[in-house]
Homo-oligomer: A and B are copies of this chain.
Amino acid sequence: MGAGQIGGSVALAARAAGAVTDVVAWSRTREKLERAVALGIIDRAAPSAAEAARGAALIVLAAPVRSLGPLAAEIAPALAPGALVIDVGSVKAAAIAAVEPKLPPGAFVACHPVAGTERVGPDAASPLLFEGKKCVVCPTAHSSEGAVATIERLWAAMGAEPVRMDAQLHDRVLGAGSHLPHVAAYTLAAALGGLPGDVVEAMRRLPTTSLRDTTRVAASSPAMWRDIFVDNRDQVLPLIEALAEQVAALRAAVSASDGPRIEELLERGRAGRERLVPG
């Protein structure tokens, strides 16, 4: 369900691993589905989510969290006995709450491959997207150990390293390690995007690696990130507040030309970077 970068990459990687034979997809966006067929990513498009799920051994929900609940409800009656269902989204507690109650006990395994780029759509799909990446798998009290182990083997076959983690911890860790960096990149690019044309023209004549790298993920899909911020609001909001505090502190220090205080704040950042991304 879904034929974007992640769903398409699962199809390609699973096929490359010999883990699947017949890949059927459904997407709300008809053009994506047709493009995925044209690119040979999927074997065929189904007319509905239920039809795509019917008889399948594995169903991949590669869709925004808010569509997961309705999708799970729609496919539930069509599920073959023993069928496994996974999602691939960036927020896990909300996904589990939306999907698990709608499906047979133990059928759902919440997954988050920590991969993907700022590119979107089936054209950005690659069989190598998960190669060398981690994939978080979040078992719950209702999980089947057999199902979890099967899904971990699937991710390993697709080149990823499965990492088991509690969904709440996952959401906190990704809020810090992925969602807040996106906040920083988007707000930086927004703050600079309104500069006058002559300044922007001169900036393009003097490209910097700092601007390129620091804003890179601001090229990501605003709709996808809107959903992630809403779905992981409880973890992300305190982090945005911490970021706002650091920006306010540095603004005050620069405004006062307070060299020692500026250096203290920057040193806090340097030490933080060293702690988070050692070496």
Residues of A participating in the B interface, judged by any CB pair closer than 8 Å = 114, 117, 134, 136, 163, 165, 169, 172-174, 176-178, 180-195, 198-200, 202-220, 222-223, 225-227, 229-230, 233, 236-237, 239-248, 250-251, 254-255, 257, 259, 262-263, 265-278
**Nearest-neighbor residue (CB-CB) of A274 within chain B:** B219
Complex interface: chain B residues within 8 A of A177 (CB): 192, 203, 206-208, 210-211
Cα separation A80 to B77 with both chains bound (whole Å): 90
Complex interface: chain B residues within 8 A of A195 (CB): 176
Question: Contact at A226–B274, with CB atoms within 8 Å?
Answer: no
Cα separation A199 to B169 with both chains bound (whole Å): 8
Complex interface: chain B residues within 8 A of A216 (CB): 210, 213-214, 273
Complex interface: chain B residues within 8 A of A243 (CB): 187-188, 191, 247
Given A177-B206, A222-B267, 17 new contacts (CB under 8 A) = A114-B206, A169-B199, A173-B206, A177-B208, A184-B188, A188-B246, A189-B273, A190-B269, A192-B239, A193-B269, A203-B276, A212-B277, A214-B214, A214-B216, A214-B217, A229-B254, A240-B251
Complex interface: chain B residues within 8 A of A186 (CB): 246, 250, 265-266, 268-270
Cα separation A213 to B209 with both chains bound (whole Å): 10
Q: Can you offer 30 A-B residue contacts whose CB atoms are under 8 A?
A: A114-B206, A136-B206, A163-B205, A165-B206, A172-B199, A173-B199, A176-B199, A177-B208, A178-B210, A178-B211, A181-B214, A182-B210, A184-B187, A185-B269, A187-B247, A187-B250, A188-B246, A190-B265, A192-B239, A193-B273, A193-B276, A204-B278, A215-B273, A218-B269, A218-B272, A220-B270, A222-B270, A233-B254, A237-B255, A247-B247
- Rounded to whole Å, the gap between the CB of A220 and the closest CB of chain B is 7
Question: Contact at B274–A222, with CB atoms within 8 Å?
Answer: no
Cα separation A241 to B136 with both chains bound (whole Å): 38
Complex interface: chain B residues within 8 A of A262 (CB): 225-226, 229-230
- Interface-centre pick from A202, A242, A255 (highest chain B CB count, 10 A): A202
Complex interface: chain B residues within 8 A of A185 (CB): 184, 210, 214, 269, 273
Question: Contact at B214–A210, with CB atoms within 8 Å?
Answer: no
